[in-house]
Amino acid sequence: MANPILETAKSKMDGALASLSNQLDGVRTGKASPALVENITALYYGAPTRIRELGNIATPEPRLITITPYDPSVINEVCKAILAANIGVTPVSDGRKIRVPIPELSEERRKELAKVTGRMAEEARVAVRNVRREANDEAKKQQKDGALTEDDLDRLLKDVQAATDAAIGKIDAAAKAKEAEVMAV
């Protein structure tokens, strides 16, 4: 029977990995991807709303994102939001559709994005280590309360460490893949 402490820890570690993956999708790599703009929020009748909920996002060309809002009155707000997001692109509107050309990344910008990717990965590793610490503390508390034997505690601590190592390995692999993608010309 799997220990609930271990299961909770694994689930939280998976959450940290999913969060990192979501963040990495938003890092620009020089080719168009809807993930670059879909989570940016624009004001829609005074309420912050994600662009993906305001219109259809497409990539008709490798270096172009198009956004076709369901409500044309929101075009200016979407353009302002994309500019305010400071992702290095400038939207162009024709009144019905927004075109976001993706410029070629300079070597300097590529290195900067690689550092950003590294910081995101480090934040995810810290989150995983915090989950490990919480799980270990909870296990030691249960052992102190008599709910776990010394052998069960040792086994559980080893299992939590193994789950931590596996999660950090996945984080490192995801970060390395994204860094390679960013640095590719």
pLDDT digits (tens, 9 = 90+) for 93-102: 998 999 999 8
Task: Please tell me whether residues 43 and 90 are part of one structural domain.
Answer: yes
Q: Which runs of consecutive H residues, i.e. helices, occur in 26-184?
A: 51-54, 75-84, 107-145, 150-183
Pick the range with the lowest mean pLDDT from 14-18, 87-91, 169-173.
87-91
Summary mean pLDDT of the chain: 89
Choosing from 51, 69, 101, the residue where a domain stops is 101
Task: Please tell me whether residues 91 and 144 are part of one structural domain.
Answer: no
Q: Are strands 64-69 and 92-93 parallel, antiparallel or unpaired?
A: unpaired
How many domains is the chain built from? 2
Main-chain dihedrals φ then ψ at residue 136, nearest 5 degrees: -65, -40
CATH, residue 65:
3.30.1360.40
Specify the higher pLDDT residue, 22 or 10. 10
Pick the range with the lowest mean pLDDT from 29-38, 45-54, 85-94, 130-139.
29-38
Q: What pLDDT score was predicted for residue 27?
A: 75
182: its two tokens: 């960013």
The model's confidence at residue 33, banded by pLDDT at 50, 70 and 90, is confident
Task: Please tell me whether residues 111 and 150 are part of one structural domain.
Answer: yes
Are 171 and 21 in contact by the 8 Å Cβ rule? The answer is: no
pTM: 0.71
Question: Residue 103 in 3-state DSSP?
Answer: coil
